Each structure stands twice: as structure tokens, then as C-alpha cells.
Amino acid sequence: MRRVLIWAPLVLFALVFGLVASGLVTPADRTVRSAMVGKPLPGLDLKPLLASKPGIATADFAKGKPRLLNVFGSWCIPCIAEAPQLLALKRAGVEIDAIAIRDTPEAVQAFLARNGDPYARIGDDPTGKAQIALGSSGVPETFLIDGQGRIIDQHIGDIRAEDVPAILRKLEAAK
């Protein structure tokens, strides 16, 4: 017993050392995921940003068809990179709504004219209240909402071409 026990401190040290060393070499993941995934969409009632499109209301998301809710800004550079993928999703029959963070109608109009317009609705979020309500910590982020108005997934950062099939699969599964 004694002869085994004498190694205990060394083993303990090796464990702590291993833990610290592995923490030093693995890059930290700093993304903050929304804790709202899996929960119903919070109550949103956002005024339309553009005269040509309706705003965002939570009730519109519980009508049986899964939708995407894209959090973006005309001032956000990765949102430009993401635009072609959103258009591709729209072509595949996905309905996409948007929340524009701290934005103006003129700037969004110009953004859509330049990068294409994938959105069915655009809600105005001048002070980030809706963004916080969703648990979103930046732009762009995209929430997948099922037909009952529940958040089923969150895509953080711009959607790349390689992400599109997975998003389509998840939306199909949510039907």
C-alpha cells in the first residue's frame, strides 16, 4: 500500500501539469453561443426598416415553415461576403428574414442594391435590443427557426458556400 501511495503526489503533479500544458497549446474558442438555441423565439416586434418590406414579429415564425433569421448590418464587412450564400439559400426556396443592427434605411437600401436582396422581411433594431434578446453577440449571425417558432440552431459568422448544404439539411429536418 505504502509503495503505491508514494507515487500519488507525482501522479497528481503529472495530471495537473498535463491539464495546464494542454490548456496552453489548444487554441481558445472565444465564440459565445446563444443559450436560446432549443427555446422558442423571444418576443420580437420590430418596425420595418424599409417601406417595401414588413418588419419582424415573433408570430410570423410559427406558421409551419422553417425560416432563417439573419442578424446583419450594412456596415458589416463579413455580411457582404455572406450575401451570395444567402441568395443561394433563397434560390433553394428558403425564406430569410433579417434584423438590421444599428442601421439606416438608406444604407441598407444601398447594401441590398449592391449585394443582392435575399430578405422577405427586415426589422429595425437601432439599439441592439433584439440582438441581445436572441443571445447574439455579433454580426453576421443566422438563426434557424422551425415551423413552430423554436430556435433550432445558430450559425455564428458569415455563411460560406460549404455551410449551405448543412443549413438546407437542418431546415429540411425541421419540417
Partner 1 sequence: MKRAAILLALLSTGPALADSKQPPAALSYTQLADPAQEARAKALMETLRCLVCQGQSIADSDAEMAGDMRALVRERVAKGEQPAAIRSYLIQRYGDYVTYDPPLSWVTAPLWIAPLLLLLVGVLLARRLFRKGSA
Residues 141-170 that bind partner 1 (CB under 8 A): none
> Least CB distance from residue 17 to partner 1, whole Å?
18
Does 134 interact with partner 1 (rule: CB under 8 A)?
Answer: yes
- Sign, CA dihedral 13-19-21-24, equals negative
How far is C-alpha 109 from the geometric centre of its chain's CA atoms?
22
Does 35 interact with partner 1 (rule: CB under 8 A)?
Answer: yes
Residues 40-99 that bind partner 1 (CB under 8 A): 73, 75-77
Under DSSP, the state recorded for 55 is -
C-alpha–C-alpha distance, residues 132 and 135, integer Å: 5
> Bridge-partner residues for 150, per DSSP?
40
* Candidate list 129, 160, 166, 169; residue touching partner 1; CB under 8 A: 129
Q: How many residues bind partner 1 (CB under 8 A)?
A: 26
Does 138 interact with partner 1 (rule: CB under 8 A)?
Answer: yes
Q: At what angle do helices 105-115 and 77-91 cross, to 10 degrees?
A: 60
For residue 102, give the 3-state DSSP assignment. Answer: coil
C-alpha–C-alpha distance, residues 175 and 62, integer Å: 12
Task: Rank residues 85 and 136 by Cβ distance to partner 1 and give the closer one.
Answer: 136
* Candidate list 3, 5, 10, 30; residue touching partner 1; CB under 8 A: 30
C-alpha–C-alpha distance, residues 70 and 86, integer Å: 9
Secondary structure (H, E, C), 71-96: EECCCCHHHHHHHHHHHHHHHCCCCE
C-alpha–C-alpha distance, residues 50 and 52, integer Å: 5
> Least CB distance from residue 108 to partner 1, whole Å?
11
Task: Rank residues 31 and 92 by Cβ distance to partner 1 and give the closer one.
Answer: 31
> Least CB distance from residue 96 to partner 1, whole Å?
21
Task: Rank residues 132 and 166 by Cβ distance to partner 1 and give the closer one.
Answer: 132
* Candidate list 26, 127, 172, 175; residue touching partner 1; CB under 8 A: 127
Q: Give the interface with partner 1 as residue ranges (CB under 8 A).
A: 30, 32-36, 73, 75-77, 101-104, 107, 126-129, 131-135, 137-138
